[in-house]
Amino acid sequence: MADRSDIEPHTEDNEGGSEHALAIDTVVVYERGRWAVDIIVVFADGIVRKRIDNHPTQARAELSARMIKRAAERDIRGPLNG
């Protein structure tokens, strides 16, 4: 798991219009007795990592992570790489 200090926040382009995501991934981490789902979005100028939710079991968290990733990938323009 990447340390949160290694992830730089994404900044909007000042010339108008927002930049499109290049890749999306989800991760499940065990934290304080619960399973958390984070989404990681890669932009050309940085990476954003956000906590989505937490669940009582690993199975529920992994199911949630898969569903979130599939829904987010629909919003990426162009063919998916892998």
Question: What value, to the nearest 5°, has the Cα angle with vertex 69 and ends 64 and 75?
Answer: 135
Q: What residue type is 7 in one-letter code? A: I
- Ordered by start, the domain boundaries in the chain are 4-12+24-73
DSSP string, 24-71: EEEEEEEETTEEEEEEEEEETTEEEEEEEEEESSHHHHHHHHHHHHHH
Can you give the pTM of this predicted structure? 0.69
- Taking only the tens place, the pLDDT of each residue in 17-76 is 467 888 999 999 999 999 999 999 999 999 999 999 999 999 999 999 999 999 988 877
Q: What residue type is 81 in one-letter code? A: N
**Which DSSP state fits 1?**
-
Check pLDDT > 80 for residue 16: no
